[in-house]
Structure 1
Amino acid sequence: MEFTPALHSEWLKIRTLRSLVGGLAAVLLATAMFSALAGADSEGADFDPLFSVFFGVSFGQIAAIAFGTTAMSSEFRGGALRIALTAVPRRGRWFAAKAVAIAVPVLVVGLVTGGVSLAVGEAVLGAKADGLTWGEELRAVVGCGVYLTLMALLAAGLTAVLRSGVATLSMVIPFLLIVSFVIGDMSGSVADVLPDRAGQVVFHETWDGVLGPWSGLAVTGLWAGAALLLGAWRVRRRDA
């Protein structure tokens, strides 16, 4: 099977599983809801209107990670991977098709989520968001789609390495909620290169540190790329 029909096959798997469709919907709902809540509490000297508008991405990314994890882990249950590799014996081609089938819907939903979060957040902030420029808003909306896609791919790659969705979520979610928020604030510049903190620079109107909006996303992309390379190596080296 060539790449295009392999990609079509993987896309059919995703769109016909209700849990995966629900996961994509959760990305939008969680992000918009928490962005609205953050906008309602927008006081403080370090208030950043752009980050407040996109604050919900910190929660929407959990749904994106769950989507990437579930989409990949479904191949390691019930002999599904053996069936897939019977149709696509070239494992690298199959893995690439799987990654693209995961990335494209998350990117589309992420861009829509960015637009909705911008509208909701600015509506809640009111006059406090008047200082945001069109360029900053566009950068954050595009960054939202790219960031959520990279986090979903990072989770998919780790799932291929561990061959377990439960193990992946048990490792990634505590990392985001504990290491990044707690340890990250105490470790200075080292925390700047963590995948979530680096990527979320794109949601700040102003930022400190060596990474800017796009270089931060590039760092997150390197994390995701490394996870995918390890996942592809794992799939090629181990029996289905």
Structure 2
Amino acid sequence: MSSFPAVLKSEWTKIRTVASTVWTLVAALVVTVGLSAALCSFINASFKDMPPEQQLTFDPTVASFAGMTLGQLAMIVFGVLVVGSEYSSGMIRTSLAAVPRRASFFFGKLTVATALALIVGLATSFLSFFLGQAILGERSIGLGEDNVLRAVIGAGLYLAMLALFSMGTAALLRSSVLAICILIPFFLLISNILGGVEATRKVAQFFPDQAGAKIMQVVPGAMDSGTTPYGPWGGFGIMALWTAAVVLGGYVVLRKRDA
């Protein structure tokens, strides 16, 4: 069973029958939508107390994705588990015995998992947007306004790309635990800390998460996020380059090393 369609079917069966991967996707949606709604409610209630410069650059679209910071962690875990669980359980030997062509096995797995992450990501972004705008009331913005649809679709693309980046990292490290121990502190703490310090901000803005997140913005420099030398699609392109490099590295490790 080494034809690519058969590999896709096999990987789909693996993902949907493993409870941990299913629940991490559910968590990504629920946490992001729920936390975004709560934060939109807080923003709406405290808007008049915000500094004038933040009020002038308020971006209701970005506000509706406020829960993405924590919700994306579940998507990272999903990506890591899709690949890393094969190594931790020893199933990688069985999988490669069934699919000797490692390129078909690897990219088949990534194709199915990324497609699923994109579906969940888009559902998450649209639900977060519509619920957030309903809560923001008079400060809301319509989906038909300039660049808003791009930002909402972009949020879903961002989550899918983040999952793919995590899959590549897990393949590169061949360990779920090690990948999670590196990725979660990096995206949750290190990237945000370095991005908030003036001395390191110019470097941090080229990190995959910070560059990719620009696709969700409608108002440049919204909420003191600062300006960047690239636009929304340019930032997403930077994230895509990071992801391509990590995925390629993961494939090289899979191809060169024994299971």
Q: C-alpha separation between the residues in 1 aligned to 2:89 and 2:74?
A: 24
Equivalent residue for 1:221?
240
Contact preservation (8 Å) 1:157, 1:230: yes
Residue ranges of structure 2 left out of the alignment (5+ in a row): 221-226
Q: Map Cα deviations across residues 139-187 of structure 1 (whole Å, 9 max, x no partner).
A: 1221112101111111111111111111111111111122111112211
TM-score after normalising by structure 1? 0.95
Q: Does 1:150 align with 2:140?
A: no
Q: Does 1:13 align with 2:26?
A: no
In our comparison, the structure showing a higher alpha carbon Rg is: 2
Q: Does 1:94 align with 2:95?
A: no
Instruction: Report the alpha carbon displacement of residue 134 of structure 1 after superposing the two structures with TM.
Output: 3.2
Instruction: Report the alpha carbon displacement of residue 135 of structure 1 after superposing the two structures with TM.
Output: 3.9
Q: Does 1:185 align with 2:196?
A: yes
Q: Any idea what SS the aligned residue of 1:193 has?
A: coil
Change in Cα spacing, 1:130 to 1:68, as seen in structure 2 (3 Å) is closer
Give 2:72's aligned amino acid: Q
Contact preservation (8 Å) 1:118, 1:137: no
Equivalent residue for 2:252?
233
Equivalent residue for 2:127?
116
Contact preservation (8 Å) 1:111, 1:142: yes
Q: Map Cα deviations across residues 198-217 of structure 1 (whole Å, 9 max, x no partner).
A: 11111222222112111111
Instruction: Report the alpha carbon displacement of residue 66 of structure 1 after superposing the two structures with TM.
Output: 0.5
- Deviating 4+ runs (over 4 angstroms): none
Aligned mate of 1:196, from 204, 209, 232? 209
Contact preservation (8 Å) 1:28, 1:110: yes
Aligned mate of 1:140, from 139, 144, 151? 151
**Quick one: percent identity of the two aligned structures?**
39
Cα RMSD (Å): 1.4
Instruction: Report the alpha carbon displacement of residue 48 of structure 1 after superposing the two structures with TM.
Output: 2.3
Q: C-alpha separation between the residues in 2 aligned to 1:128 and 1:100?
A: 39
Residue ranges of structure 1 left out of the alignment (5+ in a row): none
Aligned residue pairs total 240
